[in-house]
Structure 1
Amino acid sequence: MSLTATRIHADTATVTVASQTAAITDWSARYFGPWWNAAAADDPGPGSLADGGGLVLADVDPGRVDDIAALVADCGPEETIYANARTLVGRADGITYAVQPEERIGYQANGRRLVIVGGELEPVAVAAARLARELVRGQLLADGWTVLHASAATQNGDAVLTLGDKGAGKTTTGLLLALGGWGLLANDRVFVRPEPDGRVRVLPWPSAAALGLGLLDATGLYDQVREKVLAGGQLHPTQHPTVTQALVDDRREPLWKDTGKELKPQFFPDQLGSWLGLTLATEARAAGLLFPTMSPDAVPALVENGRTLTDADVFDQKTEDRYPDIFDLTPTTATGTQALTEYLARLPRRSMVLSHDTNASAALLTKTAEELITTR
């Protein structure tokens, strides 16, 4: 049976997602889109494993899940949590087998060649995109890139990176600048790499964008998102069902889990353009750093708080908060982190207080960001 394929390029990294089901490869094309230059490919071979890239073969095949589960059982599996699901992992003859029994998904990995099978289309499509991104990530890390916990917005190729702890306003800053005409490079994390000429290149990290109900309402985006949902539009499946129901019921106040974490609408990357009208940028060079603090009732203003780049802003093997590397896709040693910190330390920076007054916050951000890229 013929395969459909989506090829993904990010700098020197290449991954191909192939499937007998076009909806699976379409999902990856939609997920990575312009951020990582995803496009339909004629076949899964050239440009993937043959050129040192990666290959993900994904299909709906319930019988194959049982076959992989049997192989995992024969390996004396270890149990872990992967992608929020109980996962059994076994290894034999250089091949990693994994199965998620409740989700009915099986995995088989041999180097950069991954096979994913499952009982239903959507979980397989989600898993294929996740592993494609991890394959790209592994190649970029091996090539000297580092993952930085920051949002990024660009103007004429210059990027302003926004750093801070959770809740500091990284996503809000990126969104407000993008609504003001800047290109959105990332809303939560980016790839960065110092170059010999002193520049720091920046690449996007495609992911579902979490934007709170209150933020959508304050920026005037809530009504158009609700209209899309009422018309049958589907947001990312990681979104909690209560968020969808809140949009249907026209409830705008923030939703919270018992743990204190806010439940937010989760947008596919392509919906940032088609639903919200934002422009996505594909690459830039770092020109300045912003360190916001969110204070709901404050008057937005520049402040002196002494915040600088810290180890917590850089994701490495010790601080990465995503998925355990059960398929051995991540290099064991990072390169360029010290040089990166030194290069970023030379950039102009500003600290500021933002508030729930989005108009005043947006005005301050735009003025400050434009000053940063002109004084670099």
Structure 2
Amino acid sequence: MELRQLTTNIPAGATTRRLDVWGHVLAVATNRPEAADLLADTFYPAGMFQVREAADGPVAELTIVDHARPQAEVDELIRSVSATGRESDYELTRNYRLPRFDTAEGTLFVLRDVNHTESAALLRTEGRVTIVRPETPLGHRWLTRIVRDLATRFAKASGSLVLHSSAFTHDGGAYLVIGDSGAGKSTTAIALARLLSLAGWMGNDRMHLDREGAQYRATACPLPLAINKGSLDVMGVTDFQGWTLHAGFPAAGSDWDRFMGEDKLKMSTREVERYLEVPIVPEAPLAGVLFPRVDPSAPYAFGEASLEHAADVLSRNCFSVDDNLQGEDWLGVTGADPVAPPTLEAFLADIAKLPLLRSSVGNAADVTRLAADFRRAVTAER
């Protein structure tokens, strides 16, 4: 593969979408339906993570081109560039460094998921990002991952406070579900979204909060919903065998069918709507915070959370304090003079005026009880 051809050509049969991403216009081209479908199903519905179809008119700031090739050709491209380019490394995600090679034509970044050995390449040239990756399910995900990475950086540059949180909506307001890894954030958020009337699901694992006058607006980052069979059991979901998922089911021998299994089922935003039958809400004004616990061995509990408890949990789950998500801005897209996010202290002072709740559930009956108790608690607040 000629480097110059890759960085100037569009794959035969490619379709191009123009996306408005946090106010930045991107052109995205791929000829692989699997990659295009995953991109559409991730940034769903329109406005998810501030990603929408862009109107005709403004010239795209950046063009992203997706080339799917046999793994041997991808490996040969990396080998040939490494033989002549100037080698260094870069931080793809926090504390995960990979090789990069600077050449006269541009820079090649080696892409490799932290959990896989399969390699892809990204070529950065003026006004363009070219992905060259294998024709595999993992390869199809790079296009979505790059668009999401760009959107995350645009959001952070605009001053978003980023929290390790799931969220659901009720009666038009967003309720953050915040806890340490394994607390049951995703299970609690999706379960309440399914059970409450006038409810919806926002997102899994990461939420962005932006100050709007005296309020905050919560915006979902569309990471896949990652759940194990224990979470489905708590929600009373048993008909998953017939689901068709972009990521497929965990391989035979994995532990996803254990309550605390590390291997998890991964669902795109549209798949969550389709199979768990819950409306998806991309953004909503912040209305409250719930600190969950999912533990089959613990008794049911529900009540108010103290501000001290909120401060303790939030300090460990605020990505904006010590950004453990994003590495360096290796794509160079956010520019200078980013807006600082609200401080954690200011955010705590603001949410002290909202319902702060705690819960502990262990089975489907507990979740049903939680939905009723939650509804009464937030209704009483009004």
TM-score (norm 1): 0.80
Residue by residue, what CA displacement relative to the aligned partner does 1:178-203 show, whole Å, maximum 9, x if unpaired?
111411011221111001x2111111
One-letter identity of the residue aligned with 2:76 = D
For 2:268, the equivalent position in structure 1 comes to 268
Structure 1 gaps, min length 5: 257-261
Q: How does 1:179-190 map to 2 (within 5 A)?
A: 179-180=194-195, 181=197, 182-190=199-207
Whether the 8 Å CA contact 1:69–1:98 is kept in 2: the answer is: no
Whether the 8 Å CA contact 2:178–2:291 is kept in 1: the answer is: yes
Whether the 8 Å CA contact 1:89–1:96 is kept in 2: the answer is: yes
Q: How does 1:86-101 map to 2 (within 5 A)?
A: 87-92=98-103, 95-100=106-111
Quote the Cα distance in structure 2 between the aligned partners of 1:304 and 1:345.
Answer: 12
Measure how far apart 1:331 and its partner are. Answer: 6.4
For 2:135, the equivalent position in structure 1 comes to 120
One-letter identity of the residue aligned with 1:354 = S
Q: Does 1:327 align with 2:331?
A: yes
Q: How does 1:216-235 map to 2 (within 5 A)?
A: 216-221=232-237, 223-228=238-243, 233-235=244-246
For 1:352, the equivalent position in structure 2 comes to 358
Quote the Cα distance in structure 2 between the aligned partners of 1:210 and 1:169.
Answer: 11
Pairs aligned (count): 354
Q: Helix, strand or coil for the counterpart of 2:182?
A: coil
Quote the Cα distance in structure 2 between the aligned partners of 1:374 and 1:6.
Answer: 46
**Structure 1 residues 153 and 314, CA, compared in 2 at 3 Å: closer, same or farther?**
same
CA RMSD across the alignment? 3.4
Quote the Cα distance in structure 2 between the aligned partners of 1:267 and 1:190.
Answer: 17
Q: Helix, strand or coil for the counterpart of 2:282?
A: coil
Q: How does 1:34-183 map to 2 (within 5 A)?
A: 34=45, 35-36=48-49, 50=59, 52=61, 54-62=62-70, 63=73, 66-79=76-89, 82=92, 87-92=98-103, 95-100=106-111, 103-110=118-125, 113-180=128-195, 181=197, 182-183=199-200
Whether the 8 Å CA contact 2:41–2:271 is kept in 1: the answer is: no
For 1:338, the equivalent position in structure 2 comes to 343
**Structure 1 residues 100 and 175, CA, compared in 2 at 3 Å: closer, same or farther?**
closer
Q: How does 1:206-245 map to 2 (within 5 A)?
A: 206-221=222-237, 223-228=238-243, 233-236=244-247, 240-242=250-252
Quote the Cα distance in structure 2 between the aligned partners of 1:111 and 1:242.
Answer: 44
Quote the Cα distance in structure 2 between the aligned partners of 1:303 and 1:346.
Answer: 12
**Structure 1 residues 123 and 212, CA, compared in 2 at 3 Å: closer, same or farther?**
closer
Whether the 8 Å CA contact 2:234–2:367 is kept in 1: the answer is: no
One-letter identity of the residue aligned with 2:194 = L
**Structure 1 residues 109 and 156, CA, compared in 2 at 3 Å: closer, same or farther?**
farther
**Structure 1 residues 202 and 343, CA, compared in 2 at 3 Å: closer, same or farther?**
farther
TM-score (norm 2): 0.79
Whether the 8 Å CA contact 2:288–2:354 is kept in 1: the answer is: yes
Whether the 8 Å CA contact 1:235–1:265 is kept in 2: the answer is: no
Whether the 8 Å CA contact 1:163–1:291 is kept in 2: the answer is: yes
Q: Helix, strand or coil for the counterpart of 1:275?
A: helix
Between 1:156-165 and 1:282-291, the stretch displaced more is 156-165
Whether the 8 Å CA contact 1:146–1:191 is kept in 2: the answer is: yes
**Structure 1 residues 336 and 366, CA, compared in 2 at 3 Å: closer, same or farther?**
farther
For 1:26, the equivalent position in structure 2 comes to 37
Measure how far apart 1:220 and its partner are. Answer: 1.9
**Structure 1 residues 246 and 169, CA, compared in 2 at 3 Å: closer, same or farther?**
closer
Residue by residue, what CA displacement relative to the aligned partner does 1:95-128 show, whole Å, maximum 9, x if unpaired?
4311258524111124763110123153332111
One-letter identity of the residue aligned with 2:331 = F
Q: Helix, strand or coil for the counterpart of 1:368?
A: helix
